[in-house]
Amino acid sequence: MKRPANYHGFSLLEVLVAFAILSLTLGVLLQVFATGLRNTANAEDYTRAVMQAESLLAQVGITLPVESQQGELDDRFQWRITVTPFPIETILDPETPTETLRFTPYQVVAEVSWSAGASQARSVTLETLRVLPVEP
């Protein structure tokens, strides 16, 4: 089919192809933005969990007793602290008498867990050695 010489428009096929390309491009862009928002929310949750775990580790032996315990931070985050005596023989020279030491090392593990969706449970675990004085 020949077009008239003064015809200055687009055919229906050209318009449909342009809309198809536009819709595919917008779909990909929306998916990229949704993934970015999801990753931002995950990073925020992990950051909050790490800050809470660090805070819990710092409180053991100061405001929290030196014992295993657990609790909830709010409706999403739960925490658990595990305190176990650390075998001092693994870090000292075998000839050093351990009876004269005035401290006891403990391994302290802080775990903060939360639900990130319908079936996704996530957690952050931090551990450290804490040296506490021996009570006479």
- 88 falls in which pLDDT band (50, 70, 90)? confident
Give Cβ neighbours of residue 66 (< 8 Å, ≥ 6 apart): 60, 83, 106, 130, 132
Q: Is residue 3 part of a domain?
A: no
Q: Is residue 99 part of a domain?
A: yes
Cβ 108 vs Cβ 130: under 8 Å: yes
Give residue-wise pLDDT tens across range 41-76: 889 989 999 999 999 999 988 888 888 899 998 888
Residue range of the domain that includes 45: 12-133
Q: Is residue 5 part of a domain?
A: no
For residue 119, report the phi and psi dihedrals to the nearest 5 degrees.
Answer: -130, 10
Q: Is residue 7 part of a domain?
A: no
Give residue-wise pLDDT tens across range 12-36: 888 899 999 999 999 999 999 988 9
| Half-sphere exposure at residue 77, Cβ-oriented, CA atoms within 13 angstroms | 17
Q: Is residue 4 part of a domain?
A: no
Residue with tokens 């996704």: 120
Number of domains in the chain: 1
Q: Is residue 129 part of a domain?
A: yes
Residues 1, 78: Cα–Cα separation, whole Å:
72
83: β partners: 108
Q: Is residue 6 part of a domain?
A: no
Residues 52, 79: Cα–Cα separation, whole Å:
9
Global pTM?
0.70
